């Protein structure tokens, strides 16, 4: 680090568990770029954004719980962020703060490595912020979208926004979806013995993908696999959304495959 080092960070709360600093710092080093990436636990978002402007921080990853609230403090917002209602990427272009969303694209790139998407009968579990990004991506790929959620009203609302159809938990067994996506945090460490759905949902052969990446093999994915489904962990999505941010900030190609292996091994070791 020297006086030319460009500073990047993730802001969230909590954020100390984040693997983003590990990932981005590895990339800076690997690509021999003079950048550094750290983590800020932020409770006062407005002041944090002022700090980004004041200090000239070049790029920021935005995570829970700030993805929605940060929009009002930014100067420009991408179309995808507006439709999703969330920003995960802030880019400081000479004092103009731009908000974008790479979560949806990261999800699609990860799923595409394992399955076709167009016209596939796709069940999205959950109707929170993460689900909106997933639905945006699925809609852009013309998937046949079905949404289920514990709170029916939220699921119906989301289905309306993305031309999908709501199905109650009691109906999903009959649906026989080809792609099933967990967008809830159910099954995430330390609640690893939980799955958001009964295993009877895995009927026809298909692909199950989890946005959770810790643990790598969630109960949801284990049950999918036992029923003959192909399974995809959240690592791919995590690496793609971060790599897309990195490329936006640095105009440099990100080492996606190498990084996936790095993160995978790090999580395996625990
Ligand atoms: P995020 O922004 O990370 O998506 P969120 O907006 O709090 O987080 O949404 C979490 C999603 O997980 C919601 O769909 C939530 O269901 P509700 O709308 O009924 O709250 C779902 N969820 C969380 N805990 C759950 C649980 N124990 N069982 C089923 N669904 C759960």
Catalytic residue among 67, 105, 260, 262: 67
The 8-class DSSP code of residue 73 comes to G
Whole-prediction pTM value? 0.96
Could you give the C-alpha distances from 245 to 101, 121, 213, 234, in angstroms and in order? 9, 30, 19, 17
Atom 7 in ligand 1: which residue has the minimum CA distance? 128
Tell me: the pLDDT tens digits for 7-43? 999 999 999 999 999 999 999 999 999 999 999 999 9
Identify the pLDDT of residue 269: 85
The phi and psi torsions of 155 (rounded to 5 degrees) equal: -65, -40
Q: Count of CB atoms within 10 A of residue 165's CB?
A: 13
Atom 26 in ligand 1: which residue has the minimum CA distance? 186
Tell me: the pLDDT tens digits for 153-183? 999 999 999 999 999 999 998 999 999 999 9
Pocket of ligand 1 (CB under 6 A): 64, 126-131, 149-151, 154, 184-186, 196
83 has a pLDDT exceeding 80: yes
Q: Count of CB atoms within 10 A of residue 257's CB?
A: 9
CA of 154 to the centre of ligand 1 (A): 10
Point out the ligand 1 atom lying closest to the alpha carbon of residue 154: 18
Q: Which residue ranges make up each domain of the chain?
A: 6-101+236-269, 105-233
CA of 134 to the centre of ligand 1 (A): 14
Check for a shared fold between 6-101+236-269 and 105-233.
yes
Q: Sorting pLDDT into bands at 50, 70 and 90, what band is 113?
A: very high
The 8-class DSSP code of residue 114 comes to T
270 has a pLDDT exceeding 80: no
Identify the pLDDT of residue 249: 98
The fraction of the chain above a pLDDT of 90, given in percent, is: 97
Q: Two tokens at 137?
A: 């991506």
Fold of domain 105-233: Rossmann fold (3.40.50)
Identify the pLDDT of residue 204: 84
Q: Count of CB atoms within 10 A of residue 142's CB?
A: 12
Q: Two tokens at 242?
A: 């971060």
Point out the ligand 1 atom lying closest to the alpha carbon of residue 132: 4
**Whether domain 6-101+236-269 has CATH 3.40.50.10860:** yes
Whether 67 sits among the annotated catalytic residues: the reply is yes
Could you give the C-alpha distances from 220 to 234, 247, 257, in angstroms and in order? 12, 32, 25
């Amino acid at each position: 680090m020297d006086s030319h080092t460009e500073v990047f960070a993730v802001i969230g709360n909590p954020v100390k568990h984040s693997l983003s600093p590990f990932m981005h710092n590895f990339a800076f080093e690997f690509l021999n770029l003079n950048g550094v990436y750290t983590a800020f636990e932020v409770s006062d978002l407005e002041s944090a954004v002022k700090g980004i402007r004041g200090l000239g921080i070049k790029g920021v990853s935005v995570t829970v719980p700030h993805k929605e609230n940060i929009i009002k403090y930014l100067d420009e917002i991408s179309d995808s962020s507006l439709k999703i209602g969330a920003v995960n990427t802030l880019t400081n272009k000479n004092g103009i703060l731009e908000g974008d969303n790479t979560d949806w694209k990261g999800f699609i790139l990860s799923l595409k490595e394992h399955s076709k998407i167009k016209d596939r009968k796709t069940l999205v579990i959950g109707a929170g912020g993460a689900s909106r990004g997933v639905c945006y991506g699925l809609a852009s790929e013309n998937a046949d979208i079905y949404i289920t959620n514990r709170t029916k009203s939220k699921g119906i609302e989301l289905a309306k926004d993305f031309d999908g159809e709501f199905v109650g938990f009691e109906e999903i067994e009959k649906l026989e979806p080809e792609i099933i996506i967990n967008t809830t945090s159910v099954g995430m460490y330390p609640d690893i013995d939980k799955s958001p759905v009964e295993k009877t949902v895995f009927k026809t052969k298909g692909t199950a993908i989890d946005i959770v990446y810790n643990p790598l093999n969630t109960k949801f994915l284990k049950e999918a696999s036992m029923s003959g489904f192909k399974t995809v962990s959240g690592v791919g999505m995590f690496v793609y959304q971060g790599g897309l941010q990195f490329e936006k900030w640095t105009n440099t190609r990100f080492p996606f495959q190498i990084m996936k292996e790095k993160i995978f091994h790090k999580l395996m070791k625990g």
